[in-house]
A and B are shown apart, each in its own frame.
Chain A
Amino acid sequence: MPITVPAYGKEAAGRLASMADVTADDGALRRFLHGLPGVDAVGLQARAATLGTRSIKTTAKAYAIDLAISMIDLTTLEGADTPGKVRALCAKGVHPDPTDRTAPKVAAICVYPDMVATAKEALAGSGIHVASVATAFPAGRAALPVKLADTRDAVAAGADEIDMVIDRGAFLSGRYLSVFEEIKQVKEACVRPDGSAAHLKVIFETGELETYDNVRRVSWLAMLAGADFIKTSTGKVAVNATPPVTLLMLEAVRDFHTATGIQVGVKPAGGIRTTKDAIKYLVMVNETLGEPWLTADWFRFGASSLLNDLLMQRQKLGTGRYSGPDYVTVD
């Protein structure tokens, strides 16, 4: 197995270049993606359900809760967002539990591009990243130049991470190369003038792709195009992250790593609201990818209400009493 390199590193680009034959044209890419092993839906769901029965108690639970908090991309993506709302969220991200300063800070604050500057300012010196959705989030229905401009704007405003959406229409109609090229160009748009780059998360909107076979294919497609992270959902459609879809993406990341040595991160987003759910995801990471992925650098939760449930459970572990919503902050 080749030595592990991060997806955002220089070596990764070189390794991807060595796989250029599978992405040379639409036909080659199609043959490659359709040659990946199939996914048996029933078996995948059964495996995810079995992992969901792991019982995480006491010290393991305390570890998992703090880990989960540190992996949150605390998110607000509403038409009604204002600088005030974003600043409040940033404050919460820095000190999630005002009564307990030992609570870890979150990984990133995730906002629309026009809120990036506000968030950047509010988070200055905190070490918390600013993540921005881009590319005509959430539908992704805009011309490529618009999507690239959207991305460059966010990067210029200081975004550390870009969460792009793929063109699901193109993917579902079989124009794989077009999806591939778009991701590549967005990745290039993430590069800053100084040569460094915002990390790129690629959102699939798996609820719209519907089949597990599609999820495996799009995962490989995005990783071949240079995704630093692959992400399930926008949180804006009926079906968001589910344990089987996330497990499948973890398996794709594992197989991609085995093949290339490139380490790619995974971000389930939408619908993860309870500590119990979050711990199920961490168990999946632990038993599919293991230790190297159990850090905020390689696994994230796209969530908002999850944080308060984690904090209440954290308080319960500390005091022995069940906490209530009056003892955590609304934002």
Chain B
Amino acid sequence: MTFDYAPAPESRAVVDIAPSYGLFVDGEFAPASDGKVFKTVSPSSEEVLSEVAQASGDDVDRAVKAARKAFEKWSALPGAERAKYLFRIARIIQERSRELAVLESLDNGKPIRESRDADLPLVAAHFFYYAGWADKLDHAGYGPNPRPLGVAGQVIPWNFPLLMLAWKIAPALATGNTVVLKPAETTPLSALFFADICRQAGLPKGVVNILTGDGSTGAALVAHPDVNKVAFTGSTGVGKAIARTVAGTDKKVTLELGGKAANIVFDDAPIDQAVEGIVNGIFFNQGHVCCAGSRLLVQESVQDELLDALKRRMQTLRVGDPLDKNTDIGAINSAEQLARITALVDAGEAEGAERWAPACELPTSGYWFAPTLFTGVTQAHRIAREEIFGPVLSVLTFRTPEEAVAKANNTPYGLSAGIWTEKGSRILWMANKLRAGVIWSNTFNKFDPASPFGGYKESGYGREGGRHGLEAYLNV
């Protein structure tokens, strides 16, 4: 007899998904102007979850108009009143958090343990945090009475659908802007449920508008002449296209793009915790994390010991049904993403890196990729330079702190980095030298609404979260 964990599925009954959804504009759900729809599927089973509207250029125009109309009253409300709306939203999210966690795991494929214990608590906390700023903008360090920008066009990715919505909408509303938000094509549902939360909170019509659609909808939103602010989280390629689109306009822009973070382990690191940090850094959310620690830089003197420990730990990772409470790694979000991961991993092997993965049985339907490790990787390999956005770790080595910094910085990206050592002064020296927007030391992938997040270089510009996150939505 062995200690095999019996299936422990979270109940799907807490969430009621309608067969179809329209666009949420001016407080009402309505079909797309041209009646186009597309399906959203559960990546763990390929089951169709619902059918949603594909917003057209006309729909974008209608949504921006609704947001513009709502802006006048919303921005004129006393901050304390806006604050109370946001507090209401935060509380309703807390109340409905299990429902939303299950929904997120269904539509995105992430394990319920993460949607329940990471995504949803952070979503609620983000609304709480920015609710508190709404009546304190005079104290935020941007001078007296800072003003909102107007209508914000926001385009978010599929890796943390509701959390990215929170990062976009909470500061926008707190500062008095109104929004038109487009969720990712493969994960539209939680944003549509958020529309219902706005209804329960009594939020005035038109303050939040949700348009589902593909890249063309996002492009039309970004390009709309009456949008004052563009906020985008996603790939560096699309980010650059957005930067070109807004060139020559008055639109304020923030971009939160890709990364290729180095997770740097010194020989005096707390090794068991470093292993956990490496695992969390690259396998959290199937590696669909822009700040994932996708490059492990390990000091040569501790390489063998660390890799043995890491491989041993990877053998205990449980891959499978996202709704099982004991699942550590869920499904890859889409067939398209799975193909991209597979192609890069093939390139890694072709270029001579050594591939390793623990024995693990993958489900037969849906999109899956086993947690994977590459050793013998150099800076010249594609898997050391390109963002894989999947559960694939590239291991490189270094000999000295200077070399670690040089290798860590040797990338066009600059979103995050990790440092593992027991020596405090080295942590701070390294942090000082690393060209990245977030540095984690002896931890990784930590997020908090009070803490600014964003990248250097081609990882984008602007910061989300914290006091700094207000600036992106204020006329300062």
Contact = CB atoms under 8 A, between A and B. Distances in A.
B325 interface: yes
B3 interface: yes
A282 interface: yes
Nearest to B312: A254
A146 interface: no
Nearest to B313: A287
Given A40-B270, A42-B443, A47-B276, A57 B3 contact: no
Contacts of B269: 37-38
A40 B271 CA distance: 9
Given A46-B276, A54-B326, A55-B326, A39 B6 contact: no
Interface stretch (A4-12, A60-68, A176-184): A60-68
A291 B3 CA distance: 8
Contact of A54 (B5, B270, B273, B277): B5
Classify chain B: how many residues form its interface, as a range.
20 to 34
A37 B3 contact: no
Contacts of B268: 37-38
Contact of B3 (A40, A44, A58, A294): A294
A251 interface: yes
Contacts of A57: 5-8
Interface string A11-41: 0000000000000000000000000011110
A175 to B, nearest CB: 24
B4 interface: yes
A102 interface: no
A47 B6 contact: no
A211 B371 CA distance: 34
Contacts of A40: 270, 273, 442-443
Nearest to B8: A55
B117 A53 contact: yes
A43 interface: yes
Given A53-B325, A286-B3, A44 B273 contact: yes
A57 B443 CA distance: 31
Contact of B277 (A43, A53, A56, A60): A43
A59 B270 CA distance: 37
A39 B3 contact: no
Contacts of B1: 63
Contact of A60 (B3, B117, B272): B3
Contacts of A286: 3
A6 B5 CA distance: 28
Contact of A43 (B113, B270, B316, B325): B270
A46 B279 CA distance: 13
Nearest to B269: A37
Contacts of B271: 37
B300 interface: no
Contacts of B214: none
Contacts of A61: 6
Given A37-B271, A38-B270, A56 B8 contact: yes
Interface string B1-22: 1111111100000000000000
A64 B3 contact: yes
Interface in A257-308: 282, 286-287, 291, 294
B293 to A, nearest CB: 14
Contacts of A44: 272-273
Contacts of A63: 1, 3
A47 B271 CA distance: 13
Interface in B263-288: 268-273, 276-277
Nearest to A56: B5
Contacts of A59: 4, 6
B5 A60 contact: yes
Contacts of B276: 43, 46-47
Contacts of A287: 316
A58 B8 CA distance: 9
B226 interface: no
B422 interface: yes
B221 to A, nearest CB: 39
A32 B261 CA distance: 34
A244 B2 CA distance: 24
Between A55, A56, A57, A64, the greatest number of chain B beta carbons within 10 A of the residue's beta carbon is seen for: A55
Contact of B273 (A39, A55, A282): A39
A59 B3 CA distance: 9
Contact of A53 (B2, B4, B113, B270): B113
A55 B6 CA distance: 9
Contacts of B272: 37, 39, 43-44, 47, 251
Given A38-B269, A56-B6, A57-B8, 14 more contacts: A37-B268, A37-B271, A40-B273, A43-B270, A47-B272, A54-B5, A54-B326, A55-B5, A59-B4, A59-B6, A60-B6, A63-B1, A291-B2, A291-B3
Interface of A: 37-40, 42-44, 46-47, 53-61, 63-64, 67, 251, 282, 286-287, 291, 294
27 contacts: A37-B272, A38-B422, A39-B270, A40-B270, A43-B272, A43-B277, A43-B442, A43-B443, A44-B273, A53-B325, A54-B5, A54-B325, A55-B326, A56-B6, A56-B8, A57-B6, A57-B7, A59-B6, A60-B3, A60-B4, A60-B6, A61-B6, A63-B3, A64-B3, A286-B3, A291-B2, A291-B3
The 5 closest A-B pairs by CB, nearest first: A43-B273, A55-B8, A55-B325, A40-B270, A40-B273
